[in-house]
């Protein structure tokens, strides 16, 4: 077998990873490697506009007697926490869809993993912004309050979930154990959300339940918070679209490299 023939066989036997060219292949053929698209572009523009409006409105909020200028964090902190809840819920939903035989697909496993990664980022931001807000209000950066402790637990659980996904195993075994773990870990969300109702905590109660829309000042705070919720939801959706597409490209590249390796071993084992 000549070198030209074996190279052609490799090119026709297995897909070529992005950015890889072989003899006999049309190197001018475009290879899709971008995670962008109309949906991602629309979500990105909407997220930027919503974030800009949130920051602008938040900076115009009046300083309160109890918290001073730190009360303006209501435009950011609740939205970040809300996005972390959405991310965890999407991870659980995608995991359930993977476990259900009729809807089982690799895209649900990729969606679950991508959403969990984004959820970890938003949960960490929740703890960070909460500590910044709590320092002038409570006098300390951290207390073992029910809400704070459960938020830290949620961060630890999903860091563990992501670590579990990296334990070597077949794709099906990894997806199955990750899906079961996600469905168990999501139970922390209602506990965290209702912690301020079920236990005595330093953390304030649910903001929308405490504010009075009829009051002009409270109306401005409600508007800033709702706009923040929308902005963080759009940011989450934009990140999710990109991360899922990156995961798909990673899987395709891994499959292509495996197929090329198998083709190479077969070529070496073939008689001359």
Average pLDDT value for the chain: 82
Query: Is residue 265 classed exposed, middle or buried when 0-12, 13-18 and 19+ CB atoms within 10 A define those classes?
Result: exposed
pLDDT tens for residues 153-209?
A: 999 999 999 999 999 888 899 999 999 999 999 999 998 888 777 777 766 666 555
pLDDT tens for residues 111-137?
A: 999 999 999 999 999 999 999 988 887
pLDDT tens for residues 212-234?
A: 555 545 788 888 999 999 999 99
Beta bridge partners of 68: 64
Full-model pTM:
0.79
Mean per-residue pLDDT, 95-104: 95
Question: Where do we find the tokens 């829309």?
Answer: 213
CA–CA separation, 43 and 198 (whole Å): 37
* CATH of the domain spanning 38-251, picked from 1.10.10, 3.90.550, 3.30.1240, 1.20.120: 1.20.120
Beta bridge partners of 64: 68
Q: Buried b / exposed e across 186-217, counting CB within 10 Å, b at 16+? A: bebbeebbebbeeeebebeeeeeeebeeeeee
What would the two tokens of residue 50 be?
């919503």
Nearest 5°: the CA angle 241, 189, 237 is 15
CA–CA separation, 175 and 208 (whole Å): 38
């Amino acid at each position: 077998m000549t070198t030209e023939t074996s190279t052609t066989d490799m090119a026709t036997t297995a897909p070529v990873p992005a950015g890889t060219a072989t003899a006999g292949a049309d190197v001018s053929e475009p290879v899709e490697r971008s995670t962008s698209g109309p949906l991602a572009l629309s979500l990105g523009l909407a997220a930027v506009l919503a974030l800009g409006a949130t920051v602008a409105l938040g900076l115009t909020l009046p300083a309160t007697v109890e918290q001073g200028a730190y009360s303006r964090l209501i435009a950011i902190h609740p939205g970040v926490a809300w996005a972390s809840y959405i991310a965890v819920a999407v991870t659980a939903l995608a995991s359930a869809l993977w476990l259900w035989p009729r809807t089982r697909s690799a895209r649900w496993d990729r969606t679950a993993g991508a959403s969990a990664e984004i959820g970890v980022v938003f949960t960490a931001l929740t703890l960070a912004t909460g500590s910044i807000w709590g320092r002038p209000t409570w006098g300390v950066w951290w207390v073992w309050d029910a809400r704070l402790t459960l938020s830290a637990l949620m961060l630890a659980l999903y860091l563990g979930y992501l670590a579990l996904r990296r334990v070597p195993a077949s794709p099906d075994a990894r997806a199955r154990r990750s899906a079961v773990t996600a469905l168990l870990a999501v139970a922390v969300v209602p506990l965290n959300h209702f912690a301020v109702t079920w236990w005595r905590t330093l953390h304030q109660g649910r903001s929308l339940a405490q504010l009075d829309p009829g009051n002009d000042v409270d109306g401005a705070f409600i508007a800033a918070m709702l706009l923040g919720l929308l902005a963080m939801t759009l940011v989450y959706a934009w990140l999710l679209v990109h991360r899922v597409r990156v995961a798909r490209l990673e899987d395709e590249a891994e499959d292509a490299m495996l197929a090329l390796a198998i083709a190479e071993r077969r070529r070496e084992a073939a008689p001359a």
